[in-house]
């Protein structure tokens, strides 16, 4: 029930508005409208599910469970989230290293952010990786 544009959608949801089931994908829009405090409590879990579903849709269910199973058993949700977090950190780290290599002496020019009217060079691997992808349109080479 994450989205309504894949073969997994069966037209069912725990939230129904005027007869229309609302997929989880759109819950932030609902909860931000007049229920901001309630959304703050759900936001982290929603983000976790978004990451899992994104990974699930990258391949087949068999590929997903081949990655997220141990000793013939599917991993628990929390373990999957931790593994995805570890993978993301590793990818971000490698992309940040690649950005430093490719941009060399001009790194400090391209990888900056502004805060309080001042400009700083990015140091967080996740921020560098995101900017690297924006600038080059590529992931790991």
pLDDT at 25 over 60: yes
pTM of the full structure: 0.71
pLDDT at 119 over 90: yes
Q: What is the pLDDT of residue 140?
A: 60
Please give the average per-residue pLDDT across 27-53, as a whole number.
Answer: 80
Predicted local confidence at residue 114, as pLDDT: 95
Listed range (48-52, 63-67, 81-85, 130-134) with the worst mean pLDDT:
48-52
- Which residue, 25, 16, 75, is CA-closest to 53? 25
Mention every residue, 6+ apart, whose C-beta is less than 8 A from residue 129: 91, 92, 93, 95, 96, 99
Question: CA 22, 28, 29, 30: dihedral to nearest 10 degrees?
Answer: 60
98-118 residue pLDDT tens = 999 999 999 999 999 999 999
Flag whether pLDDT at 6 surpasses 80: no
Q: Which of 22-26, 28-32, 51-55, 134-138 has the lowest mean pLDDT?
A: 28-32
**Contact (Cβ atoms closer than 8 angstroms) between residue 140 and residue 91:** yes
State the maximum Cα–Cα separation within the chain, in Å, rounded to a whole number.
58
């Amino acid at each position: 029930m994450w989205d309504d544009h894949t073969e997994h959608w069966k037209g069912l949801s725990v939230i129904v508005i005027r007869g229309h089931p609302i997929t989880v994908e759109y819950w932030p829009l609902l909860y931000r409208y007049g229920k901001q405090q309630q959304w703050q409590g759900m936001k982290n879990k929603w983000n976790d599910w978004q990451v899992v579903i994104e990974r699930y849709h990258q391949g087949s269910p068999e590929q997903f469970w081949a990655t997220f199973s141990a000793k013939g058993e599917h991993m628990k949700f929390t373990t999957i989230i931790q593994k995805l977090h570890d993978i993301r950190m590793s990818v971000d780290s490698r992309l940040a290293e690649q950005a430093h290599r490719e941009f060399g002496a001009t790194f400090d020019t391209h990888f900056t952010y502004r805060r309080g009217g001042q400009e700083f060079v990015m140091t967080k691997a996740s921020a560098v990786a995101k900017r690297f992808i924006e600038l080059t349109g590529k992931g790991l080479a």
